[in-house]
Amino acid sequence: MFGRRRWARWLLIAFLLVLPWIFGTDWANMEVRAAITTLALLSIVVLTGWVGQISLAQAALMGVGAFTAAQVTNKLSIDYPIHALFAGAAAAIVATGIGVFALRIRGLYLAIATLGFQWALQASFLEWKPFSGGFNGVQVPLNHLKLPCCDFTDDRVFYYLAWATAIVIIMMTANLRDSKTGRAWFAIRSSEVAAKTLGINVTSYKLLAFAVSGFIIGVAGSINLNFIGTATPLDYNFQKSITFLAIAVLGGIGAIGGAIVGSIAFVFSDQWLFAHNWFNGFFQGKIDVLAALLLIVTIIRNPAGIIGMREDMAERIAKRRAVKARRATRQIVLPVSGAQTPDAPSGEPSHASFAGQEEHVEGEGVAHDGTAVAAPPDRSVAERLASYVEARGSREQRIDAAPMLEVRDVTIRFGGVVANDGVSYEVRPGEICGLIGPNGAGKTTNFNCVNGLLVPNSGNVRFTGREISSMPVHDRAKLGMSRTFQLMRLFPRLTVFENIMVGTHLQNESGFASHLLMTRRSRSSDKRNEERVREVMSLLGISAHADSKVGGLPFGVLRLVELGRALVTQPRMLLLDEPASGLDVAETDAFAEILFKVRDEMGHTIFIIEHDMRLVMMICDYIYVLEFGRNLAEGFPSEIQSNPAVIAAYLGEESVA
Amino acid sequence: MKHYLELFILGLPFAGLFALLGTGVVMIYRASKILTLAQGAIAMFTAYILYQLNNKPNGPGEHGFGIPLPLALPLAIAFAGAMGYAIERFLLRPLRDRAVLVSVIMTVGILSGLTGLAGIIWSYDRQDAPKLTPTGQTHIFGITLGYDQLAIIAMTVVVMLAVVYLFKRTTLGIAMRAVADDRRAALLMGIPADRVSSLTWIIGTILAGVAGILLSPLLQLQPLQLTLISIPAYAAVLFGGLSNLARMTIGAILVGVLYSEVPSLPVIKTHDFPGTPELAIFLAVIMFMFVTGKSTQLQEEEI
């Protein structure tokens, strides 16, 4: 997802190994602090950077870890490496508790709620003496730390132990990021709704993120305890939570590297300020303030943090080059530019992308050329489409099979507005079925109800013979239902390939433990799915865009990416909500052909809402018409076209019936 | 029973403070869709500014310009407004097109920065804040209340009425609501949206400043403590769903009263269950939020 820079790992490890032998124990001490801070920041990277859940209670969770570790040490005589597990588990449990609230309390509210948790936990630490020892905290005897193998009185030994722990956790976290779990998290960050429709159980993945984040910072707490030999409530106060968040953003909140760079920079500059007696020691211990000021500057200047600067620089250089190149060409082009302008700005990019796609469909595999000039609609597409339509045109009977989707008397009310009033229809397997109607007829509302985003007030929805009216969205996806959205919900910070890869969630049966350790099972699943994604991309003709972020791509391509993402879930039925809106005639034709292919070659049933009547009449086997939330008509395309009630509804006349 | 009534009334000054702080947060949210967590820090900083202006230094190492209170007070409040202007203009306006949580993190940075700055300038030791009201107390319904506490309650009532009037009856209030609902549409209607945002921040931070100035004589000046006291105000804001002023006020009263009542409720002996008032307040509000399923539609936005 972020590029697997394995060499960076080994470099870091090698650097850490030799560090204390170069600089002596003072530096080793500092580096222990860096290990602790790295883990603390990592917990924020996971929760906030990857899953988009803000937490202002991280220091309190660290405290939970530290105090638990202290109690385990003192009462059960279990020492460092093992008691870290207890600490992590305790913090994970508390964090999951916070996560439960995060299921319903989102965004800004969550910021306040976690602030409240930090405050409440901090107050509890101060006063719950059996657990935290009150104001003075709990001490652990450091000589407890003697293992049979090594004597912990040498700082260097603890240094290695701390970083070993940190590195194991960092690696596991990196594994998670590159696995199905990580993809599910990224999906949730961008769009919970889209994630659900791809079969991701948003509830459990969110809780998992809180638990993982809690575990990481709990372990950090236990290392901190063993480092300073004591845990006091003031070590884990509000200020610390804020400082952690500040350095995490400074380092770069989206990447593991950001946590490492941020913490090392923070700890070293803290030490450095202490070591220098500038302005009568004015700066000593003022690192929190500096971090806050730097945070403010970072947010405005460079949102990706220190770790993002590298990419940022590369991007800026590329941009400058592009500008230079454009300037150079403009001088030549200028005299004739007037002749080119009419349709160049909007028409060109989307046409070009579809031209590339058509070449692909024909099996010539010509590389996509982003600068291709606008071409007239391809004749061969029109011909091929005509043959599809002809094949269908002879059919005047619906496919004779039990309906795949059955909607019976569905009524949906929003307050006083009745959006759907007893809507009924059925979609048979192997069909391309259309749902049309004037704006505001309740089509999308009905779709949302089929898909599970809305629960009907009355009536029921049956899918493949099962009653699903109140089934959660992700379970419907499991049954084989996938959809696209009228206003596309792609994951803007992922590439085209990664976007579609998220759709393979249900095809990947590996479990959490296998993601954590990146076992063969997880990798082979991913590999199989990657192939499948490539197949789908080449079917849709978007292979050329595989590695571009979806942010800057033309609209027509994005529609295809969303279709591809729905396709790789291997649905039995595809629900398409106005897939052709925003496409021009040529793009629509190409899209129509793809839909025919999807149905005929991949065997998916398609249920489509669409306003473009040309497309609807071309592709649909059977059509239902809604008006004002009620069934208005149904029939084959030819019947619908000549139905006076439908014509009246669309032209806005008085009802003819 | 009388005991609880007493505690109820003793909770009112706190309720008032929370309402003052909360009103600023709600106003700013309503006009700019930004949740500011820096409100407590601004209250604290303004209180220190007043101290700095008013205090007469009695020896080396002490701070203060010794400006008399009638002059120092408006200056401190003007300073609070200036802080609001600067924050909006230079720190938050550049973030307008970015995800909402980015600006929250920004306000967290401001909070941390101001607290640290106060620590650097005035140290983390406690100081006595200038008294605004004559010391003394009065009896209402047999309950003893200090003048300072009364002043807070009175001030809150006045400010709340003024804010309601501003929102409901003035063109500025309508402009603020319009800018919050749809900034572009407001701009097209000829509303100077930038100026409206600035103004909202100025008013919001002045409210925080007033709260800080009123509060500091009750407690004492200390950078962290004065900042943290604002946290219950956020419980009230949460209760009001970020934008509902009336519900926020009710929330502030509930929170203020809980704050003073919970420690002496017989069911919970706070010495056995520490941190209870804090926990109780937030758990109550969070449970409320959880049950009513109130949530902003932020899930589609990014960090």
**Can you spell out the DSSP letters for A564-611?**
HHHHTT--SEEEEESTTTT--HHHHHHHHHHHHHHHHHH--EEEEE-S
Query: From the CA of B296, how many Å to the nearest CA of chain A?
Result: 6
Q: Is residue A525 classed as helix, strand or coil in its secondary structure?
A: helix
Contacts 24+ apart (CB under 8 A), A424-427: A424/A459, A424/A631, A425/A624, A425/A631, A425/A634, A427/A403, A427/A573, A427/A605, A427/A607
Q: Give me the residue from A52, A104, A115 closest to B303, CB to CB.
A: A52
CA atoms within 13 A on the CB side of A187: 28
In B137-286, which ranges are E strands?
137-140, 143-146
Q: Which residue of A has its CA nearest to B300?
A: A191
Contact between residue B239 and residue B22 where contact means Cβ atoms under 8 Å apart: no
Residue-wise pLDDT tens digits, A185-213: 999 988 888 999 999 999 999 999 999 99
Q: Give me the residue from A119, A296, A493 closest to B110, CB to CB.
A: A296
3-state secondary structure A623-638: EEEEECCEEEEEECHH
The residue among A654, A644, A637, A656 whose CA lies nearest residue A436 is: A637
Residue-wise pLDDT tens digits, A149-176: 555 556 677 788 888 899 999 999 999 9
Residue-wise pLDDT tens digits, A610-629: 988 889 988 899 999 999 88
Fill in the amino acid letter for A454: L
Domain residue ranges in chain B: 24-230
Longest dimension (CA), chain B: 60
Q: Assess whether pLDDT exceeds 60 at residue B141.
A: yes
Q: Tokens 């954590």 label which residue? A: A516
Residue-wise pLDDT tens digits, B100-126: 778 888 898 899 889 888 888 888 888
Whole-number pLDDT of residue A5: 60
Question: What is the rounded CA–CA span in Å between residue A447 and residue A440?
Answer: 13
Encoded tokens for A511: 């479990």
More confident position, A336 or A585: A585
Q: Give me the residue from A108, A119, A253 closest to B104, CB to CB.
A: A108
Please, what's the b/e burial string for A38-68 (b: 16 or more CB within 10 A of its CB; e: otherwise)? bbbbbbbbbbbbbbbbbbbbbbbbbbbbbbb
Contact between residue A502 and residue A184 where contact means Cβ atoms under 8 Å apart: yes
The pTM of this model reads: 0.83
Neighbours of B207 (CB within 10 A): 31
Fill in the amino acid letter for A289: V
Neighbours of A130 (CB within 10 A): 9
Interface probe for B, chosen from A98, A117, A119 (most Cβ of B below 10 Å), is A119
Q: Is A78 left (phi over 0), alpha (psi -120 to 50) or beta?
A: beta
Encoded tokens for B200: 């909202």
Question: What is the rounded CA–CA span in Å between residue A615 and residue A205?
Answer: 39
Please, what's the b/e burial string for B6-41 (b: 16 or more CB within 10 A of its CB; e: otherwise)? bbbbbbbbbbbbbbbbbbbbbbbbbbbbbbbbbbbb
Q: Is 0.90 exceeded by the ipTM?
A: no
Encoded tokens for B117: 């700055």
Classified by CATH at the fold level, domain A6-17+26-303 comes out as ABC transporter involved in vitamin B12 uptake, BtuC (1.10.3470)
In this complex, how many residue pairs, one in chain A and one in chain B, have their CB atoms less than 8 Å apart?
176
Indicate the CATH number of A379-480+571-657 among 3.40.50.300, 3.90.280.10, 3.40.50.2000, 3.90.180.10: 3.40.50.300
Query: From the CA of B276, how many Å to the nearest CA of chain A?
Result: 8
Question: What is the rounded CA–CA span in Å between residue A505 and residue A519?
Answer: 17
Q: Which residues in chain A are contacts of B35 at CB distance < 8 A?
A: 108, 111-112
Min mean pLDDT across A58-67, A115-124, A345-354, A399-408 is at A345-354
Contact between residue A127 and residue B274 where contact means Cβ atoms under 8 Å apart: yes
Residue-wise pLDDT tens digits, B55-81: 887 776 677 787 888 888 999 999 999
Residue-wise pLDDT tens digits, A56-71: 899 999 999 999 999 9
Q: Which residues in chain B are contacts of A192 at CB distance < 8 A?
A: 299-300
Q: Which residues in chain A are contacts of B270 at CB distance < 8 A?
A: 127
Q: Assess whether pLDDT exceeds 70 at residue B276.
A: no
DSSP code, position A495:
B
User: Would the CB atoms of B298 and A108 count as touching at under 8 Å?
Assistant: yes
Across chain A, mean pLDDT equals: 81
Encoded tokens for B137: 């107390």
Domain residue ranges in chain A: 6-17+26-303, 311-341, 379-480+571-657
Q: Give me the residue from B112, B271, B298 closest to A243, CB to CB.
A: B112
